[in-house]
Amino acid sequence: MKRKGVLVFVLFMLVLGGGCADFRTVGRVELKGEQVALSAEQAALYHEVANASPFIQSLDGYADVWIKTPKRQNRVFCNIRINRGHEARMIVSAGVLGWPVADMFFSQDSLYVHDMLNNRLFLGSNNDLNLEKIIGVNSGFKLLSESLLGLVKISEPLSAIRSVKEGSETLVFTLATYGGSKDVVINPSSRTLTALILKNRQGKPVTEIHFKNYETIESDGQHTLVPKEIEMVLYSSNADGITEQQLVIAYDERVFNKRENALRFSVPKKAKVVNLDDAGILPWM
């Protein structure tokens, strides 16, 4: 019995201890450019990128995910499935053995999280606070799911554009939003979204997302470019100053428009049910 207990402990430590090796963080990009008047060609480019390839409706892929917060950092492996605009599912594995440790299901209003290590089922509402508990970033479900997909739809019309800056390889459209402003950074050569920076009314960044390593994908006879790497930073203020929460996703493989039906989440048997709204940070974090 003693030897069995030691083996279980060693395996448990392997699962949790594999998260820090080969760790990646978000790379910063300095935006430079001269302010220019909005041209008809730039307006057409903005419309194209803002539309975000609407024919892409689902994703099924495998990715390495790095999460860094002021208190912890983890590297995990995820099977990510998304039905665009409706639901998402992430099956998380960790450690050198690649054991599954969590099964997360996101609908537009609810979260279901199966903690496989302890056979607990967390149920709660899909809000920023609960997203922070389970994945370390409180981006909001719509922005998170579109970022995971690599295709963020920008809903602001041309009338929201307040300025345009033109650099050597970038166009930066600054938009007025309800909560402040938004910088939409586009590569005019590839006609792709390079970065999205959300700012508060004081002009301070609150969310920054980078899209990198684009590849051409084809579905139903249509082609588009989709990034394989997504980096997200969320900023917050506290007594210690500005803190960051980082999420880096790098896809190893993925398929688009594979699923047409709703994603299924099977409630685990004999799992202890816990109210996610009342829970703290979950064990894989």
Alpha carbon dihedral 212, 71, 127, 101, in 10-degree steps, equals 80
Q: What percent of the chain has pLDDT over 90?
A: 41
What is the predicted pLDDT for the residue at 134? 76
The mean pLDDT of 79-98, rounded to a whole number, is: 84
Model confidence over 145-169: pLDDT tens digits?
Answer: 899 999 999 999 999 999 999 998 8
Contact 155, 143 (CB under 8 A): no
With residue 59 as reference, give the H or E element that holds it.
strand 58-68
Report the range of poorest mean pLDDT among 12-16, 147-151, 258-262.
12-16
Specify the higher pLDDT residue, 22 or 233.
233
Model confidence over 92-108: pLDDT tens digits?
Answer: 887 655 678 889 899 88
What is the predicted pLDDT for the residue at 96? 59
Q: What pTM does this model have?
A: 0.83
What is the predicted pLDDT for the residue at 38? 95
What is the predicted pLDDT for the residue at 6? 34
User: Could you give the CA distance from residue 199 to residue 208 in angstroms, rounded to a whole number?
Assistant: 9
The rounded mean pLDDT for the chain is 83
Contact 112, 121 (CB under 8 A): yes
Model confidence over 182-231: pLDDT tens digits?
Answer: 999 999 999 999 999 999 899 888 889 999 999 999 988 899 999 999 99
Contact 225, 192 (CB under 8 A): yes
What is the predicted pLDDT for the residue at 27? 63
User: Could you give the CA distance from residue 284 to residue 76 in angstroms, rounded to a whole number?
Assistant: 9
